[in-house]
Amino acid sequence: MNPKRIAWRPWVQHIRAFAAAPRAGFEAKALLALLILFLLVMSLLNVVNSYVGRNFFTAIEQRQNGDFLRYAALWMGVFAASTFFAVMHKFFEDRLALLWRKWTTSEALGRYLRGRSYLNLVTRGEIENPDQRIAEDIRSFTTGTLSFALMLFNGTITIIAFSAVLWSISPLLFCVGVVYAATGTYITVRLGLPLVGLNFRQLDKEANFRAVLVHVRENAAPLALAQREDYLASRLRSRLSELTDNYRQIVSVQRTVGFFTTGYNWMIQIIPALMVAPLFINGEVRFGVITQAAVAFGHLLGAFSLIVTQFQSLSSFAAVVTRLDSLFNALDENPAVTPTTTLSTVVMDDRVSYQKVSLRSVRRQRILTENLNLTIVRGQHTLVRGPDNAARFALLRATAGVWNSGTGRIGRPVLDQIMFLAERPYLPPSTLHDIMLPGASVGPAVTEREISDTLQALGADNLIIRAGGFEHEQQWESLFTLNDQQLLVCARLVLLAPRFAFLEHPAATLEPPQIARLLPLLKVRDITYVVFDKEVADLHAYEQVLDLEPDGGWSSFTVTPACGATE
């Protein structure tokens, strides 16, 4: 996506959706109404402040002690009121930004995790650092949108309020201000336009650098054993060089913009004095009018010059909007379907069926499995074996619906009734009790007694003590070995008792005696298991074997009770 082209329409729709949200939308509207009210009051106080200040300095000029004290007290009252409304405005603005961020992030998380969108993003590789975009860019978008919208509204009110004040002092000064602001805005945009693209790239380069640092932290022990510090140091320096080179360009553009905007802002202070002072010298206005003109001109130019004064922030904000737009567009897209990618899935309650299934590697399009026709009925425990790890890997993931490079049709139960155990176990941080709980719609919750009995049947009841009981949250990767983690996953499988279970290379993390305990438990729980492994010598635990050949061919046979084979 071109970072200079920003799609605003989706975000207008997003804002409308937020406003229409039942609870958050009502609270947001109430907070926005308060913010608008406070802005109106603050604008009125600014106008009052200009007149009180004018009279205050006129009293000094005319040596009127009574008026001086009266206007001094009134001016302090205006300052106190302005302070109150300014602080409360900022408080409610932060509250609204936080409410909006929470709602938007929740919506983004739902779309990110629904339908395995997170996996599609990784597979397509089109979006870099989606985690950062959800965590950081949404925060920047909500606070930035609210801040700039309120600035624009406040600027509009300020223009309306102070145009009359400045016109009453000097129509020429008013016209000079408008021309000055328009010229400054045009020049600033021309000078600073490259910042949009540079800021867009900087966000990704910062995230890429941080990702390598996170990799080092999460893989500290394997890294030390592999002694690959030199490689990662080189990689980190390369990422650091990329982000500093890009940031150097940002600094250079900011320097150019800074020369202009700084001089522009300094001139705002002297222009009204240069034009009103001759009127005072000629006796046409009082001294306080000079200060009032300076205040009114400053407010008016500040409103007209919003792009000039906020351009660097606006350029960063534009980059954030573009990044979020590309993220949400990617989340809304379905995985690409091409003539060679027509793998479909249908629901079958009591069987897993492969009909003319051909799978290919994602990048090289190498044939992994060709024209596979096989049915696994409920209770027909099956072994899928073969020397090609990629073929087994692809077939299991195609069954799970996370492999799209291929053709044919796969029938299987809904995902609530089929579980997949990867070679490397996955356990998110949680308590021992929570890790065993079913998903949103899979069966009843399990009791601590059921968990304990299942772990004991697997010969792993000691894991309860090592986990600190059932209610202590643990980081399982650091607490348990891969073997222990896989035993927990197996215990969850037994407890949830889906109709089918697909086990990827269980021998990689489980000992033979542990597998010998697990498979009978699955049979007792009426779980039809399908094991994917390179080779299994003892076939007595299976009724069917599927052999995958290196060239994409395949063959299958049934296993007799005496472990003989029938073609």
CA distances from 457 to 418, 470, 471, 486 (A): 22, 18, 21, 15
Task: Report the chain's terminal Cα–Cα distance, integer Å.
Answer: 55
CA distances from 55 to 59, 266, 269, 287, 411 (A): 6, 25, 20, 9, 85
Torsion of CA 18, 20, 22, 26, to 10 degrees: 80
Among 308, 332, 356, give the residue marking a domain's end: 332
Q: Are residues 379 and 449 in the same domain?
A: yes
Both structure tokens of 72: 């001094």
Among 277, 309, 332, give the residue marking a domain's end: 332
Q: What's the pTM value of the predicted model, to 2 decimals?
A: 0.62
Q: Are residues 347 and 324 in the same domain?
A: no
Among 314, 332, 350, give the residue marking a domain's end: 332
Type and span of the H or E element at 470? none
pLDDT, position 308: 67
Q: Are residues 301 and 420 in the same domain?
A: no
Strands 554-559, 565-566: pairing is antiparallel
Torsion of CA 58, 64, 67, 68, to 10 degrees: 70
- Contact, 357 vs 398, CB < 8 A? yes
Q: Are residues 462 and 361 in the same domain?
A: yes
Both structure tokens of 554: 């395949």
337 in a structural domain: no
- Contact, 361 vs 394, CB < 8 A? yes
Q: Are residues 442 and 477 in the same domain?
A: yes
DSSP count for the chain of H helices, then E strands: 19, 11
1 in a structural domain: no
2 in a structural domain: no
495 in a structural domain: yes
pLDDT, position 526: 93
Q: Are residues 296 and 402 in the same domain?
A: no
Domain that holds residue 276: 9-332
Count of domains forming the chain: 2
CA distances from 33 to 37, 236, 474, 493 (A): 6, 48, 45, 53
470 in a structural domain: yes
Q: Are residues 45 and 112 in the same domain?
A: yes
Written as tens digits, the pLDDT of the chain (567 aa) is: 444 455 566 667 778 888 888 888 888 889 989 999 998 898 888 888 877 877 787 787 778 888 888 888 888 888 899 889 989 988 998 999 899 888 888 888 888 887 777 777 776 666 777 777 888 888 888 888 888 888 888 777 877 777 777 787 778 877 887 787 788 878 888 888 888 788 878 878 888 888 888 878 777 766 776 677 787 888 888 889 999 999 899 888 888 888 887 787 777 777 777 777 777 677 766 766 677 677 777 777 676 666 666 766 777 777 777 777 778 877 776 554 444 457 888 999 889 999 999 999 877 778 999 999 999 999 999 999 998 899 999 999 899 888 888 899 999 998 889 999 988 888 888 888 888 877 544 445 788 899 999 999 999 989 999 988 888 888 888 889 999 999 999 999 999 999 999 999 999 999 999 999 999 999 999 999 999 998 887 888 999 999 999 889 999 999 876 544 444
Amino acid at 374: L
Q: Are residues 252 and 278 in the same domain?
A: yes
CATH of the domain at 217: 1.20.1560.10
Both structure tokens of 66: 């009574």
pLDDT, position 224: 73
Q: Are residues 327 and 441 in the same domain?
A: no
Q: Are residues 326 and 390 in the same domain?
A: no
